[in-house]
Structure 1
Amino acid sequence: MKRPLFNLPVFSLPIFNRLSSRIFAIFWLTLMLVVVVLLLLPHLDPRSQHTIPQPELNRYQDAAERISERLSSQPGTLLEKLQPLADPKRHKGMQLYFTNDDGELLTPHQRTKALRNFITSADSPDAPRQKLYGRWMVAGPFLVKDQQQSALMYIGRVSHRPPPFFLRILDQPFHLLLLTMLISTPLLLWLAWALSRPARKLQEAAQRVASGQFTQDPALESSGPREFRQAGASFNQMVTSVNQMIGGQQRLLSDISHELRSPLTRLRMATALAQRKQGNSPELDRIDTEAERLEAMIAKLLELSRMQIHGQETREYSDAVSLWQEMLDDAEFEASQHQKSLTCSPLLSWPLAGNPELLISALENVVRNAIYYSQDRIEVQFSANDHSLTVTIDDNGEGVPDDQLKDIFRPFYRVSTARDRHSGGTGLGLAITENAIRQHNGSITASRSPLGGLRVTLLLPLAQKSQRHSLSQPEAR
């Protein structure tokens, strides 16, 4: 099973709190804008009563003065004089209404409901008003006089102007909903994109670190909301700290290896001098053998440490044939020298991306381990699908107990059976292989082989087209 090096939380609670506050502020700002628009609508709506524009007011007042002069020059009662003026045929597209000071209509009329509604709220000639009823605009009142009598005149006319666009939208709920969606959807998409883009960058950076690539990403600190830039800066600082910690560990291991190799070298020289003076003895042979094993263990330990630190530095595109064919040919020859048979299924040019040395070393460790412990038969099988390559290595040796199959990939673990009793190994070979496979986002498992020994299964992801373009081609070997 693939195990990440670190489990990194992409978001922290303070970031979520700040983002929630920002979204809440945007919501309240939008709500306030809506309230302001709703408060302004009555002043913008011609269907609500409002003042008459000055040019129209001047024309209406001039008309009222002319009517007053005509009434004063004609004989008869005021009502008789107003009747012909209220005739709708006399004024094309216009209707005059006349009332007394109490608001009672003096002339025949149409649109009684709209007129009565307007008269109840507009009855002062000192402040004429107008209001739209459908397509019918009513304005007034205007004072007309006939010597000693007076009346209030209201003017109704057909409005040829179409209703404002926002009124047509408000009058139709479905259109209002559609317009709201058309306006809000791009804003919401932009907000989601603005928040998700730096979040994806931070997540991708965390995944790289989880897979072993301890590299900073300056883009995390240069784009996105302030909270994400702060989180990106903290993330890069964490990567720097991890690199410094690993570098310190590497220096410590290098110093330890140097300090251990010096006394080991002196010990082996002393053993060789003792053998020259006293001759060979079981005790001196045992000392020399153990010193040699300790030196090999130190070398393997340093190799594992270097692999953990520098395994991600060299990444290039390659294929299975160029990586493993030569190594498998050498392994087949080595097996034949030990009177053993190593068979491989056809190796095709499956695309792989990663560190070539690590990939070669990973498979070579398992294959040579199978050659060493098998009785006389080793099989290597390759199979692939669209996304991954599977390699199985089987041998017919004594195998590993079921309860220890998961432990053989731990550093320095030694199987307590005849398989490992006389091997003289350091217990680091499979640990190095497991580390190399994990750094390439793969997995390694052990199980019982159908041949009777151990089966080791390697699973590696195939390189995608994006990786093939971004990684360099390997140099010729």
Structure 2
Amino acid sequence: MNRLFFRFFVLVMLAITAATFAIYFAISRLYGDPLEDIARRQAAAEVFLLEHYIDQAPADEWLVRLNKVREVSTVRYELLPLDDASAALSSAEAALLQRGGMVFRVADKAFLRRVDLAGARYIGSEADVLRAEGLPINIAQALQQEALRYAIVALALLVPIALWSRAHWRGMQALARVADDFGAGQLSARARMPASASIYPLAERMDLMADRIEQLMEAQRALLHSVSHEVRTPIARLEFGLELLRAAADDPALEPRIAAMELDLRELNALIGELLGMARLDSGQAMQRQPFELAPALRSCVAAQPDSARIALRISDDSLGQLDGDSRLLLRAVANLLANAAKYGAGQVRLSAAREGGAIVIAVEDDGPGIPVAERERVFEPFYRLDRSRGRASGGFGLGLAIARKAVALHGGAVRVEDSELGGARFLICLPA
């Protein structure tokens, strides 16, 4: 947020600077060089003396008055041949001098003007140029005045912009806090800005969006409650009915059909449990944070696996330490990865954990066929399976990896897949230490 307004401030300053140069060049093209105009104003006394005292002398007295001015003035006046003076000027300045105009040389603090055009001052005066040097021209002071003028204009523009930006920045900060709180699970967080705020339209739409999301989450919670009571109840009745049917059936041929129906019910019950678990993770209800020792928790997770004897464990109690989080959720994610590795591995499964820099990395590897690079992100999608021909015997609904990723994400971590040195897939859980 600070970066945004810093860039805005820099942009405004650059715009003011560009406008200053644009004004200078526009005035130069339309009305002449502003520095020359400043020099004319500063040398106005000398110009006035030349035009209203020396030039007003009667015929043949022009040089007498010029000499009198030379005696009392600090400005040096000298007469130059017209051709020599023109050779030192640009073509535009030389043309102006030829017409009888006054040419200012700001850098030299001097001006040049022909004595006259018709030779009325003295014999040969039409071929002479009067050069006045050492004029009281102070361009540095003039530039400081111009800079002060532009600085006052810039300040007059920046003050209201700064006041508006401050109010805008505070509103954006408030919106950012609301977004952070809402993303952390506080669904009741709202901006509630006054209509006079500069970002009120955005805040109003964010509040409407938050209201809609909260309503959807409430509807999801209501659906979870309904599913847990309304769907599981008929499943339980069907299971009870099948038990009664098994006890009452005299025909041995019905036994395989009853067993198949019981397997279908168990699969349906497991699927509902997985869906409910996914929904609880999405709604943020499942998190119960508290510090726990990671190494013993991982050992207990491995011991709870049906084929724990196949799992090689490589962890150290001293290096892992404690982790602040929901141990049940995190171990559920690890268990899902272990079950996936046991299902597709050829015989070897390995679980390792270590601290690497500022993170804890838990790795689950197998020696199975691995996962193609193009499929490594899609395997975390719900109901996505690499093996499209999965039969009932293989088990699974394509939700285990999706649940694992969501559980790790709730802890601020991430899950990714890469190749394992065992030959199969290597799932990495990276958690902030």
Tell me the TM-score normalized by structure 2: 0.57
1:275 maps to 246
Cα deviations by residue, 1:55-97 (Å, 9 ceiling, x for unpaired): xxxxxxxxxxxxxxxxxxxxxxxxxxxxxxxxxxxxxxxxxxx
Cα deviations by residue, 1:224-264 (Å, 9 ceiling, x for unpaired): x8122442343133212201112112312432443322221
Higher relative contact order structure (alpha carbons within 8 Å, sequence separation ≥ 6) = 1
**AA of the residue aligned to 1:450:** E
RMSD after superposition: 5.5
Distance 1:197 1:387 in 2: 33
Q: CA separation of 1:415/1:176 partners in 2, compared to 1, >3 Å: closer, same or farther? A: closer
Is the aligned partner of 1:432 residue 2:403?
A: yes
> Any conservation in 2 of the 1:268–1:291 contact (CA below 8 Å)?
yes
1:288 aligns with one of 262, 265, 270: 262
Distance 2:364 2:391 in 1: 18
**AA of the residue aligned to 1:339:** A
Distance 1:245 1:390 in 2: 35
Q: CA separation of 1:313/1:324 partners in 2, compared to 1, >3 Å: closer, same or farther? A: closer
Tell me the TM-score normalized by structure 1: 0.52
Q: CA separation of 1:380/1:111 partners in 2, compared to 1, >3 Å: closer, same or farther? A: same
1:243 maps to 214
Distance 1:170 1:216 in 2: 62
SS of equivalent to 2:394: coil
Q: CA separation of 1:356/1:259 partners in 2, compared to 1, >3 Å: closer, same or farther? A: same
1:394-473 alignment to 2 at 5 Å? Answer: 394-400=365-371, 404-416=375-387, 422-460=393-431, 462=432
Cα deviations by residue, 1:17-66 (Å, 9 ceiling, x for unpaired): xx9xxx9xxx9xxx9xxxxxxxxxxxxxxx9xxxxxxxxxxxxxxxxxxx
Q: CA separation of 1:212/1:334 partners in 2, compared to 1, >3 Å: closer, same or farther? A: same
**AA of the residue aligned to 2:144:** Q
Q: CA separation of 1:250/1:217 partners in 2, compared to 1, >3 Å: closer, same or farther? A: closer
Cα deviations by residue, 1:272-319 (Å, 9 ceiling, x for unpaired): 111001156100000011111101111111111011102586556x4x
Distance 2:325 2:204 in 1: 28
**AA of the residue aligned to 1:246:** M
Is the aligned partner of 1:363 residue 2:337?
A: no
1:101-116 alignment to 2 at 5 Å? Answer: none
Distance 1:272 1:306 in 2: 32
Identical pairs, percent: 23
Cα deviations by residue, 1:183-242 (Å, 9 ceiling, x for unpaired): 849957945962444335434644665x5645454567379x812244234313321220
2:309 maps to 339
Q: How many pairs does the alignment contain? A: 330
Q: CA separation of 1:233/1:417 partners in 2, compared to 1, >3 Å: closer, same or farther? A: closer
1:328 aligns with one of 279, 285, 298: 298
> Any conservation in 1 of the 2:365–2:426 contact (CA below 8 Å)?
yes
Q: CA separation of 1:112/1:459 partners in 2, compared to 1, >3 Å: closer, same or farther? A: closer
Distance 2:246 2:371 in 1: 39
> Any conservation in 1 of the 2:311–2:348 contact (CA below 8 Å)?
yes
SS of equivalent to 2:378: coil
1 or 2, which has the higher helix percentage?
Answer: 2
1:202 aligns with one of 158, 170, 175: 175
Distance 2:141 2:406 in 1: 65
SS of equivalent to 2:151: helix
SS of equivalent to 1:343: strand
1:300 aligns with one of 274, 289, 296: 274
By how many angstroms is 1:343 displaced?
1.4
Distance 2:148 2:376 in 1: 64
1:375-390 alignment to 2 at 5 Å? Answer: 375-390=346-361
Query: Structure 1 regions of 5+ residues with no counterpart?
Result: 1-9, 11-18, 32-46, 48-107, 114-167, 464-477
By how many angstroms is 1:394 displaced?
0.2
> Any conservation in 2 of the 1:446–1:454 contact (CA below 8 Å)?
yes
